[in-house]
Amino acid sequence: VFIQLYRRNIQTKTVKRPPLGFAFDIDGVLMGGHKPLPKARNALKILNGDNQLNAKIPYILLTNGGGQTEYERAQILSSRLDTRISPSQIIQAHTVLKDYVDQYADKAVLCLGGVGDTMRKVAESYGFRKAYTTTDVLAWNSSIWPFIHVTESELASAKPVDFSRTPISAVFVCHDPRNWGVDVQIMCDVLRSGGLLEGPCVDATKQTIQVVFCNPDLLWKSDFSRPRLGQGAFKASFQAVYKMLTGSEYPYTQFGKPTKPTYDYARRVLHNLLDESYGPGKLPHMYMIGDNPESDIAGANAAEWSSVLVHTGVYDPTAGPPAHSPTHQAQDVEEAVLWAIEREL
Ligand code: G3P
Ligand code: MG
């Protein structure tokens, strides 16, 4: 009789979906450079159950940052934020490239950003089997950019490829480039030669190589006192040089917040996470907590999520109203989380 009662109790106990969920930006909301911002740990503790709903409240991390696999990022953030964050909760700038694997799995793609071969490792973790970096290009022929010395360790991590015989099909600017001179030079070489380095110039109107930028941020907040230039500034530099060389900018695809593909991808991730825990159902009321009106708030507004703009990152409340209006403004991420929960009680 006890086992029957226990089984019936399990069947009837359907765990209710919480009424809300969160998407957290990372830089300027949870982290300042490599260090957690003061209220970040408390905010996540509240979501892990220490709240008036007495429930774990679901959340994802939605960042225009990257440069590592989602697994590596989850490990680092879990230890620094003192809570368990799974790789499936993290969407980085380049995570959406997983949707491109079918198209490019066995084609040579050039992955920009990060250091050494880190972006290759990320691309290979998604399923790209011919992912190359600008370090591989320098190892093939360092005179492509005369002002840099390739270190022994970079040479050791490089893939031996002859880029005069290996046509590049796409250029993915995955994370923020470190050496803009090298990356602008090699991008221009690849695109003007139709993918074969040192090959003949190709008519600009017959370009077939896809260029994807994964992060539009002109500015972002690290641990320096003022916002820093992001991948959006690199894109502007590349396009200005390419236009001086060819007379026009190069056509490209843009991912990252605030673009629709990135928020659509985030919705899919949230559905998977929630359906796994609660069975199939609708998304709860979503709150985006961000520090950058141009990316976090603009994207949330377009996705019809509520949004909270915090004052710990790019946005400076003394400089006037934000370019995109959030649902609410808060000093920091803990205040933002408490306001949203209060609103749903
Ligand atoms: O490169 C990272 C930066 O552009 C923004 O990161 O976390 O504020 O979206 P995040
Ligand atoms: Mg940010």
172 in Cβ contact with 112 (< 8 Å) = yes
Expressed in angstroms and rounded, the spacing between residue 68 Cα and the centre of ligand 1 is 13
pLDDT at position 116, please?
85
63 C-alpha to ligand 1 centroid (Å): 6
Q: Is 117 in the pocket of ligand 1 (CB under 6 A)?
A: no
Report which protein residue has its CA nearest ligand 1's atom 8: 27
Which residue puts its alpha carbon closest to atom 3 of ligand 1?
Answer: 65
What's the confidence (pLDDT) of residue 12? 43
Q: Whose CA is nearest to atom 1 of ligand 1?
A: 65
Q: Are the CB atoms for 232 and 259 separated by under 8 Å? A: no
Residue 69 Cβ contacting ligand 1 at under 6 Å: no
Q: Is the CB of 220 under 6 A from ligand 1?
A: yes
Sheet of 253-254, strands arranged across: 131-132, 108-112, 168-173, 210-213, 253-254
Q: Whose CA is nearest to atom 2 of ligand 1?
A: 65
Q: What is the pLDDT of residue 204?
A: 75
Low-confidence residues of the chain, pLDDT below 50? 11-13
**Backbone angles phi and psi of 203, in degrees to 5:** -55, 125
Whole-number Å distance, alpha carbon 291 to ligand 2 midpoint, is 5
* Residue 114, pLDDT score: 87
pLDDT digits (tens, 9 = 90+) for 308-337: 999 999 999 999 999 999 999 999 999 999
Q: Is 73 helix (H, G, I), strand (E, B) or coil?
A: helix
Mutate to test the pocket of ligand 1, among 24, 26, 118 (most ligand atoms within 8 A of CB): 26
Q: What is the ipTM of this complex?
A: 0.98
Ligand 1 centroid distance, CA of 128 (Å): 24
Torsion 118-120-121-123 (CA) sign: positive
33 CA to centre of ligand 1 in angstroms: 10
Residue environment code for 229-248, b if the CB has 16+ CB neighbours within 10 A, otherwise e: ebbbbbbebbbebbeeebee
Q: How far apart are CA 189 and CA 171, in angstroms?
A: 12
Dump pLDDT digits (tens) for 75-124.
999 999 999 999 999 999 999 999 999 999 999 999 999 888 999 999 99
Cα 30 to middle of ligand 2, angstroms: 9
- Find the helix or strand (DSSP H, E) in which 182 lies: helix 180-192
Q: How far apart are CA 296 and CA 169, in angstroms?
A: 31
